[in-house]
Amino acid sequence: MKIFIGFVKKEFLHIFRDVRTLIILFGIPASQIFIFGYAVSTDIQNAGIAVLDLSNDEITTEITSRIESSDFFVLKERLQSEKEIDEAFKKGVIRQVIIFENGFGERLQKEGVADLLIIADGSEPNVANLVTGYTKSIISTWVSENSNIQNSGIMSIEPEVKMYYNPNLESQFMFVPGTITIILVLVCALMTSITITREKENGTMEVLLVSPLRPIHIILGKVAPYLLLSLLVMLVILFLSWIVFHLPVQGSMVLLLLETILYIVLALSLGIMISTLSKTTQQAMFISLLGLMMPTILLSGFIFPIEYMPEVYNYLSMIIPPRWFIVILKNILIKGTGLAFIWKETLILFGMTIFLIAFSVKNFKVRQQ
């Protein structure tokens, strides 16, 4: 055991001495979170909107022009009836419809309360959230300004928000599970395959094999640091998405970590398998990037929903571990469900892990001939 720990220490030294490794480990996850989280969504400028004004009084006109004059929105259409809403959304030029109830201005002045309905296009959840959020804040600003000036008691507008498509905003925060899934595959499989083939290239692997270390210890020793660091990376991602995007972990943290460990072990065995198949670090990199990264990004359901894929791709995606892990993460992180809902996916990942380990062990022995 002491021998093993010394060996693991050396692996940590390799990692900390190599700036590139550290960048891949921690820089990429952080930047991905920001890219997917921000760049993709915050840019709402001149978002098209429509207004359905059933009241058509002084106040509704004022609020409408206030919204219209902001940089965020462009009034594309004035609707006449609720029947036109569907068509307006289908054209795809508007992000939301703002509906003022009948007698809006009158009720606001008399009762101090009026109802406003915002219907947003939920097919792009991040955008929908931002659009409705901005609208609400513009309205509440207007309310507070006018309450003060007219001093006519407390006014309040209660905007109600509805999503037109995708009412539960199911793909909200999808980028977090997606990022975690990709990063873990990248870190675990790519890095382990590279670090093992590097020892082969340098000739140090032979020296290790000649030493009293058993092959299994060599492999475990090389892989253990990555298991720990990957878990750390996972926590960093969760922390970032909590701080920046206010995404809490809905489900059990223990279950989340256990599932993550399973997935990491799976990715590590993939890395070991790749290293047994490749002679040079370049080869290992190619196999990892083309054979792992691409399918993970394209077929895991991260970017393209699996339901909409042609059947062939749907079946193809089944052999890709990330497909199952994304489902697991989505369930634990966002829906807060327990093992009862994800036991099938867990079992599939478990089976894959066993298979890969068996394959790698067999291959590693054969290679030594």
Q: Which residues bind another protein (CB under 8 A)?
A: 2-3, 6-7, 9-10, 13-14, 17-18, 202-204, 206-213, 368-369
Greatest CA separation for the chain: 91
In whole angstroms, the minimum distance from the beta carbon of 204 to another protein comes to: 6
In whole angstroms, the minimum distance from the beta carbon of 369 to another protein comes to: 6
The residue among 14 and 162 lying less far from another protein, judged by its C-beta, is 14
* Residue 78, CA distances (Å) to 26, 66, 81, 139, 271 in order: 49, 15, 9, 18, 58
In whole angstroms, the minimum distance from the beta carbon of 138 to another protein comes to: 57
In whole angstroms, the minimum distance from the beta carbon of 188 to another protein comes to: 21
The residue among 13 and 40 lying less far from another protein, judged by its C-beta, is 13
In whole angstroms, the minimum distance from the beta carbon of 195 to another protein comes to: 11
The residue among 19 and 149 lying less far from another protein, judged by its C-beta, is 19
The residue among 16 and 239 lying less far from another protein, judged by its C-beta, is 16
The residue among 2 and 90 lying less far from another protein, judged by its C-beta, is 2
Q: Residue type for 352, please?
A: M
The residue among 28 and 208 lying less far from another protein, judged by its C-beta, is 208
The residue among 21 and 230 lying less far from another protein, judged by its C-beta, is 21
Structure tokens at 265: 């072990």
**Which H or E run contains 209?**
helix 204-210
Place of tokens 């997606």: 178
In whole angstroms, the minimum distance from the beta carbon of 341 to another protein comes to: 45
Question: Beta strand pairing status for 47-53 and 156-163?
Answer: unpaired
CA distance 69 to 67: 5
The residue among 9 and 78 lying less far from another protein, judged by its C-beta, is 9
CA 143 to chain centre: 36
In whole angstroms, the minimum distance from the beta carbon of 5 to another protein comes to: 8
The residue among 11 and 84 lying less far from another protein, judged by its C-beta, is 11
Q: What single DSSP character describes residue 203? A: T
| Cβ-defined contacts of 317-325 (< 8 Å, 24+) | 320/295, 320/296, 321/185, 321/263, 321/266, 321/267, 321/270, 321/349, 321/352, 322/181, 322/182, 322/185, 322/296, 323/299, 324/348, 324/349, 325/177, 325/181, 325/184, 325/259, 325/263, 325/349
Structure tokens at 173: 């925060």
In whole angstroms, the minimum distance from the beta carbon of 293 to another protein comes to: 26
Structural contact between residues 287 and 293, judged by C-beta atoms closer than 8 angstroms: no
Q: What single DSSP character describes residue 101? A: P
Query: Hey, which bits of 7-83 come out as E strands?
Result: 47-53, 73-79
CA 326 to chain centre: 9
In whole angstroms, the minimum distance from the beta carbon of 91 to another protein comes to: 60
